[in-house]
Amino acid sequence: MEFYQEETNKLRRMIVWLVDIIVVISLAWFVVYGFGTQIRITGQSMTPELRSEDVVLMNRLSYDLGSPKRFDVVVFERDDKKPNVKRVIGLPGEVVEIKDGKVYIDGSPTPLDDSFIPEKMIGSYGPYTVPENCYFMLGDNRNDSKDSRSWKNKFVRFDQIVGKAVVRYYPSFKWLG
């Protein structure tokens, strides 16, 4: 009888172990293919937050129930269908103006806090009135970024946004703003 119980316990442990492996693999598959997608960064427009060859995980479901917020780092596709990564600056209905390198929203006397950018932006741009369902985007490396200031169509439509960049996991781990 002892032999039978010992074999039964071994079989139970093996089944539990197999179930654990199946659950972990299923969760990993869901995270990578259902919840998120990895994106490899090209270019330096988001330096220092993201550099060329960094790999980030994007949450494709992040805007199914809500809208992008100011300073979200988003992934979107423009006419070239290539993934782009920029920071949301202007929200629908807002007026964005850049004076002497500082960003102002709706004529506020106080500029946005952009202390996270590596160097002061050069120049003045706008004002730009952001249409409904659209967003004004800037790269963090403002003096070396092709973004809303330089695009013919200055805005990214909501339906062009693929998801929110959540975490950089290569070459090092970092939660994104």
Tell me if residue 64 falls in helix, strand or coil: coil
* Residue from 45, 62, 145, 148 carrying the catalytic annotation: 45
- The answer to whether 47 and 127 have CB atoms below 8 angstroms apart is no
CA atoms within 13 A on the CB side of 26: 6
Q: Which token pair is 113?
A: 């806090």
E runs forming strands in the chain: 36-40, 55-59, 73-77, 83-90, 95-99, 102-105, 125-129, 134-138, 156-157, 161-170, 174-175
* Residue from 26, 52, 67, 86 carrying the catalytic annotation: 86
Rounded Cα–Cα distance for residues 92 and 105 (Å): 11
Instruction: Decide if 45 is catalytic.
Output: yes
Rounded Cα–Cα distance for residues 34 and 10 (Å): 35
Instruction: Decide if 86 is catalytic.
Output: yes
Tell me if residue 163 falls in helix, strand or coil: strand
Which element (helix H / strand E) includes 39?
strand 36-40
Rounded Cα–Cα distance for residues 50 and 18 (Å): 38
Active site residues: 45, 86
